[in-house]
Structure 1
Amino acid sequence: MPASSLAGGNVADHDLITFGPVHLEVRNVETTARFWESLFGFTRRTFGDSIELGTEKEILIVLHGGATEPVRQGHSGLYHLAIHTPDQRDFARLLKRFSDLRYPCSPTDHTFSKAIYLDDPDGINIEVTLETPERFRTVRPVGNRLAFIGTDGIERPGSYPLDLQEIYQSYKPGSELEAAHPATKVGHIHLYVADLERSRDFYTGLGFELARWWPPMQVADFGAGGAFKHRIAINTWQGIGAPVHPQGMARMRYFELRFETMEGLSAAVNANPSARSLGVAHVLQDPSGIELRLVRA
């Protein structure tokens, strides 16, 4: 693949596909709801037997009971879901909050984004993301890895330690007590899949653009039209042919994709004859058995 296909340039103004709520199946709905409330400042709404969590404007996470065991390795399904913050002030606010609560987390720099990784009570991995595509120029293969090149010309690994001193320069004292910022969103989802090529074809068929394709590492990235080229990511790191998460294990039940245009939604549905209607949504599974629902934004 040419380097220009891997770069962050030549982009549309905004994403044409965005995320609705991510539905999680957990062992204890109340315990996990408190996790999202205390660490992220999310508000909750009870809806039947489930709990909806998010900002004052938007539902981001829906919790369902039914799991009897935590996450186990060896399955296709959710690698992590990513909560995106609107700016570095809010990113610093959350980092301070996690630190004050002494919750284990891993601050990481990816050049095209800054990230904090942590697990929920069932071992479902969550990434807090600050998008920084303005720092990213391109990526190139080096042996069996990818080297990320910033706009400063420096070549870096895909992941390296986050500069905490630089992050905390944006911290506003007391902000860690604030509720979740209204512009907080589910900004990307990273999936373990069973077959890289079939999954690539499926997600490009939905309208995503292939931004990074690297079979030696069994990984691919997809954009949705905007500057940030990491909206869906896939890998086979749980094994080629890995079965989907079994019933009873904490997992993602499904996620929602919102299409800005009816033409985009219609094209995605037409590309998947197995999609079935459920209210305003079109329900389907990707080649690994991961469920998603397509709706008009």
Structure 2
Amino acid sequence: MSIHSDTSLGHVRLRVSNLEQSIQFYKEVIGFPIAQIEGKVAYLKVEEEKTLLVLEEIPNAARLPERSAAGLYHVAILLPDRPSLASILYHFADKHIQIGQADHLVSEALYLADPDGNGLEIYRDRDRSEWELEQNGDYKMASDPINIESLIQEAEEHSWKGLPQGTVIGHVHMHVSDLDETEAFYRDIIGFETVGDYRAMRAKFMAAGRYHHHLGFNIWAGKGVPPTPETAVGMSYFTVKLVDNEEREKLLERLQKANYPFKEESSIIWVVDPAGMNVRFE
């Protein structure tokens, strides 16, 4: 049974070592206009009612060597259109921010990391009519160079005013310990569909509603790696937004049928996936 096609991602909670430093980065570099602070936790928003990222300062937070554990590879922030991506590209240039970039055919993406090394992708989607399929039904994707000249023509120079209305969390990409085990969990119990089985890349992409991916998994940190400990910087959890109570009941039924452990907290369902990552269903 598949999860509802309108399922989307909600906020992601990240562990950081210095909240003040992180807030400054996410406001001045990434462009979140709203940061509500409660003690050692900050709630980052573009629109007042919608939290996209939660930052929590962890005392004496460790920073693990790159690609040494299962956990966050990057959180992907989806912009509403190409001019918005062009605008933030100008902004990164003005700020002398080092970035990576790629044309994935279904999208165009910019890459960077926060002060603690938490990976970030800032991207825009091409129209679905432009997405192509491989013969096996996977979406055709690549990591080609972006046509920068074409992109920068989409925005006025130095026109950046922060993240625009309509910005959302588009997907989360994670290092996992076992691709097949992770895929089976998210497919057979949670209900996501595999839309990209990129074995040559040692990665799989999964989604609801035939999106190019809400979830990305790779074993680039090595098969069998342990989870990132809660004492280290990284991702505490990501959120899957269920469309209604009927979908919630269906998920509970699948979890119970599979005898998979979960916790209920009011209307929230908490699950730890096979790689040790916390998933929040709301």
Q: Same fold (TM over 0.5)?
A: yes
Percent pairwise identity: 27
C-alpha contact 2:19 2:56 (8 A) present in aligned 1: yes
What is aligned with 1:201? 184
What is aligned with 2:194? 210
Residue correspondence of structure 1 range 25-104 to structure 2 within 5 A: 25-42=15-32, 43-57=34-48, 58-66=50-58, 68-72=61-65, 73-104=67-98
Separation in 1, partners of 2:103, 2:166 = 22
Please say if 1:267 is aligned against 2:250.
yes
Q: What's the TM-score, normalizing by structure 1?
A: 0.85
Return 5+ residue gaps in structure 1 as ranges.
Answer: 1-13, 149-156
Query: How far is the alpha carbon of 1:52 from its aligned partner?
Result: 0.6
CA 1:15 to 1:127, structure 2 compared with 1: closer, same or farther past 3 Å?
Answer: farther
Give the letter for the 2:133 counterpart.
T
What is aligned with 1:18? 8
CA 1:215 to 1:256, structure 2 compared with 1: closer, same or farther past 3 Å?
Answer: same
C-alpha contact 2:42 2:56 (8 A) present in aligned 1: yes
Stretches of 4+ moved more than 6 A in 1?
none
Separation in 2, partners of 1:94, 1:100 = 10
What is aligned with 1:289? 276
What is aligned with 1:225? 209
Residue correspondence of structure 1 range 148-297 to structure 2 within 5 A: 148=140, 158-176=142-160, 178-204=161-187, 205-226=189-210, 228-273=211-256, 274-295=261-282
Give the letter for the 1:47 counterpart.
E
Give the letter for the 2:40 counterpart.
D
After TM superposition, the structure 1 stretch with the greater mean CA deviation from structure 2, 64-73 or 198-207, is 64-73
Query: How far is the alpha carbon of 1:280 from its aligned partner?
Result: 2.3
- For residue 98 of structure 1, give the secondary structure of its aligned residue in structure 2: helix
Separation in 2, partners of 1:220, 1:36 = 29
Aligned length: 268
Separation in 2, partners of 1:56, 1:65 = 23
- For residue 175 of structure 1, give the secondary structure of its aligned residue in structure 2: coil
Separation in 2, partners of 1:270, 1:237 = 33
Give the letter for the 1:125 counterpart.
G
* RMSD of Structure 2 on Structure 1 (CA): 2.0
- For residue 187 of structure 1, give the secondary structure of its aligned residue in structure 2: strand
Separation in 2, partners of 1:98, 1:140 = 38
Separation in 2, partners of 1:253, 1:50 = 13
Q: What's the TM-score, normalizing by structure 2?
A: 0.89
Separation in 1, partners of 2:269, 2:38 = 21
String of CA shifts for 1:169-199, please: whole Å, max 9, x gaps: 11124421x1321200000011111111111
Separation in 2, partners of 1:76, 1:40 = 25
